[in-house]
Amino acid sequence: MKLNLNKKGQAGMTLIEITLVIAVLLGLISVLFIGVAAYKQGSDRAKCILNIATVQKAVRSYCNLYELSDNNPVTGTADPLVVGDIAGTGKMIETVPSCPSAGTYTFGTVVPSASTAYLTCSIGDHVPKDGTAGW
């Protein structure tokens, strides 16, 4: 009588093993989506703060060029400092920026004093961590 000691099991995976593999893959994919959403939110916030800083630099450049002092409207007119004075073709910034998170920008109407932002965003956390000191 022959004894066959080389028993080969069936190749392949059971339904439970396949289910576990799919569950692990779905878990990893969900973590990826959460990470991408957080990355997008952080990058939108950074872009918004960069827009605010760019407008602030444009306002400061405009004020230096036309010798405007803090809290004053445009020299020689009764009109307040408006976005059209600094934004547009051939001006300090080419286009009026927009918030990447669909927030609303509020522009000031006079030359801002030191450490005061000329532009603010309606989304609360779209402000620099250290504030606007030195702006």
CB atoms within 10 A of CB 58: 20
For residue 89, give both structure tokens: 């073709």
- The whole-number pLDDT of residue 75 equals 45
Q: Write down the pLDDT at residue 98.
A: 94
What residue spans define the domains of the chain? Answer: 15-121
**Per-run averaged pLDDT (10 residues), the chain, 135 residues:** 64 87 96 92 96 92 85 57 81 92 90 88 91 82
- What residues are paired with 61 via a beta bridge? none
Residue given tokens 């409207």 in the structure block: 73
